[in-house]
Structure 1
């Protein structure tokens, strides 16, 4: 007797779906995709202010990662496992690269700014604060000096974190430009100084400054300035990457803290040989690395022995004295 329509081999329906075969790599891929989504969520929950107010590059990476994780997880979960050594090697490589990407994305999460930096971002009768996707500009409302300040933040630090320590400079009549670095890395904004100079023709000379890695990059920009507008260099808990003692010919100031766990007093002292002989050194007793901005504690740093207000006042005052001496 003929088999009933739609059946074969003992009556199993021809429309019965064949189960998707999965192996250990499939489940690892799903786990990595979940970890990526978790990191995106964690970064947004803990660093939202720094993400929204920083350079858009990190926000774009987070969005791409979230979409990529959904696709990666779906492929790992739904795509049938195919035999073959090279296919297996390719899957292993994809999982390893995805896992590495997750770690890098987590490491790139910015340190968000906290008070009093956030309050210092507000415009008032004396300072107009303008924020774009690539920089923060503090412009004196009562007429600006011909000297401006170009500032590079520390690595992974929300650029707003320096608003409180730099605002007194703007209140004293100096235009202050704080760079928003792609992914919070100063080396990715090496060309930003030239862009700022070309867009601010009313500023005739610039003091380049920076915190930590930002100071290192500011030194590279000052030392390599071909326009002749670099008039000074200020290090905040920082030092140059190489010897610029014979090539840099502008006044230089180094401000450091005795409780700095990253740019330690020993490292600052060692940097003297790499800086011009006339470099001024100001040491803030009891100040830590993170007190040069307002972004909370930083791994590897020491506990400060003075208040944030005291440290900030000394840093701002020393910077202003240096710039006023340059501006005449």
Structure 2
């Protein structure tokens, strides 16, 4: 009998429990649904932000598609440690999908998008890792490096920070991997390297971004490498993770909202002990956490008592006064 005459092997019977097969398919389908939801509701942020989240979504699609394809093929049931591994993989997939949903960025809205237009006063440039608002005439020797809040798209800060550029200060906004400031701790060093003409830096941040900015300002005081020193720390609805009162020599401006439901007034007030004596605290009466950028309402936030436009104007004005004072 030749090989061609031999009967084809019978297909492998599928001996997996039905519940396992359908659980795997349900989890994979949920993963694809989460990716679709993220793209539909935050597609602009995915496209214009740091590419890390787009890569994350792509890997999720590939993984879920592979799992669905494999679930259609007959396989024998696993026993012992291999069954435990199957369960662990399902649990890991659920955690991954939950993280995918949690990491969906808050997308920039107007007037932030309009503030990203170059004109005779400000030149706007953007890359995968930063957005820069530069005075058209070159500006002065003071620049601002800013870390966005957790999951907030970098473009959302354009309107509130643009007045700094109009006042003559170059502004660099970090595009954080996955929207997490702790994953962009090297961004300030990169900005310094890109702008050797800067004489002094103000490091700032919103919420979690301010926590990281506090550490960067503290470390930036030591500029033995010849880089421009950190002259100021600008906190938007934020505070340091630890006590920097005895080590930070930079001037500090803390701007917060009286109706903030996340960085509450009590938390901001408690941060006085962790900041150097002489730090300035500006409270915008009626403002909430989401008023420090333009990305819409945020879960857990308070109820505002003033308009967003009013709050933004006050935050920008306080920021300009602070940064201007460091160059005099």
TM-score class, shorter: over 0.9
Q: What TM-score does the superposition give when structure 1 sets the normalisation length?
A: 0.94
2:189 maps to: 194
Is 2:43 aligned against 1:32? Answer: no
1:327 maps to: 327
2:206 maps to: 211
Provide the aligned length of Structure 1 versus Structure 2: 318
| RMSD (CA atoms) | 1.5
Q: Shift of the alpha carbon at 1:192? A: 1.1
Q: Shift of the alpha carbon at 1:309? A: 0.5
Q: 2:125 aligns with which of 126, 130, 138?
A: 130
Q: Shift of the alpha carbon at 1:160? A: 0.4
2:279 maps to: 279
Runs of 4+ in 1 over 4 A off after TM superposition: 13-19
2:229 maps to: 229
* Structure 1 unpaired stretches of 5+: 1-5, 8-12
- CA distance in structure 2 between the aligned counterparts of 1:301 and 1:129, rounded to whole angstroms: 31
Is 2:49 aligned against 1:51? Answer: no
Query: Which residues of 2 match residues 257-296 of structure 1 at below 5 A?
Result: 257-296=257-296
* Structure 2 unpaired stretches of 5+: none
Q: Does structure 1 retain, via aligned residues, the 8 Å contact 2:12–2:75?
A: no
- CA distance in structure 2 between the aligned counterparts of 1:255 and 1:60, rounded to whole angstroms: 35
SS in 2 for 1:165: helix
Q: Shift of the alpha carbon at 1:76? A: 2.6
- CA distance in structure 1 between the aligned counterparts of 2:74 and 2:151, rounded to whole angstroms: 38
Q: What TM-score does the superposition give when structure 2 sets the normalisation length?
A: 0.94
Is 2:150 aligned against 1:155? Answer: yes
Instruction: Tell me: CA distance 1:190–1:18, structure 2 relative to 1, closer, same or farther (3 Å).
Output: closer
Which structure has the greater CA radius of gyration? 1
- CA distance in structure 2 between the aligned counterparts of 1:231 and 1:79, rounded to whole angstroms: 65
Q: Does structure 2 retain, via aligned residues, the 8 Å contact 1:150–1:178?
A: yes
SS in 2 for 1:224: helix
Q: Shift of the alpha carbon at 1:251? A: 0.6
Instruction: Tell me: CA distance 1:134–1:83, structure 2 relative to 1, closer, same or farther (3 Å).
Output: closer
- CA distance in structure 2 between the aligned counterparts of 1:164 and 1:208, rounded to whole angstroms: 18
- CA distance in structure 2 between the aligned counterparts of 1:276 and 1:263, rounded to whole angstroms: 19
Q: Does structure 2 retain, via aligned residues, the 8 Å contact 1:211–1:237?
A: yes
